[in-house]
Amino acid sequence: MTRFTVNGQPVHYRMDPATPLLWALRDASNLTGTKYGCGAGLCGACTVHIDGQPVRSCQVPIGSIEGSFVTTIEALSRDRSHPVQQAWVAENLPQCGYCQSGMIMAAAALLDKNRDPSDEEIDAAMTNICRCGTYPRVRRAIRRAGR
Q: Where on the chain is the footprint of ligand FES (CB under 6 A)?
A: 36-39, 41-46, 56, 58
Contact between 50 and 68 under an 8 Å Cβ cutoff? The reply is yes
**What's the chain's length in residues?**
147
- Cβ proximity to ligand FES: between 23 and 88 the closer is 23
Contact between 87 and 119 under an 8 Å Cβ cutoff? The reply is no
CB of 74 to ligand FES, least distance (A): 17
How would you class 85 by CB atoms within 10 Å of its CB: exposed for 0-12, middle for 13-18, buried for 19 or more?
A: buried
CB of 63 to ligand FES, least distance (A): 18
Q: Which residue is nearest to ligand FES (CB)?
A: 58
- Cβ proximity to ligand FES: between 42 and 132 the closer is 42
- Cβ proximity to ligand FES: between 13 and 23 the closer is 23
Detail the DSSP E strand segments found in the chain: 2-6, 9-13, 47-50, 53-56, 69-71
CB of 144 to ligand FES, least distance (A): 26
CB of 81 to ligand FES, least distance (A): 27
**Which residues partner with 10 through β-bridges?**
5
For residue 57, give the H/E element and its range: none
- Cβ proximity to ligand FES: between 39 and 83 the closer is 39
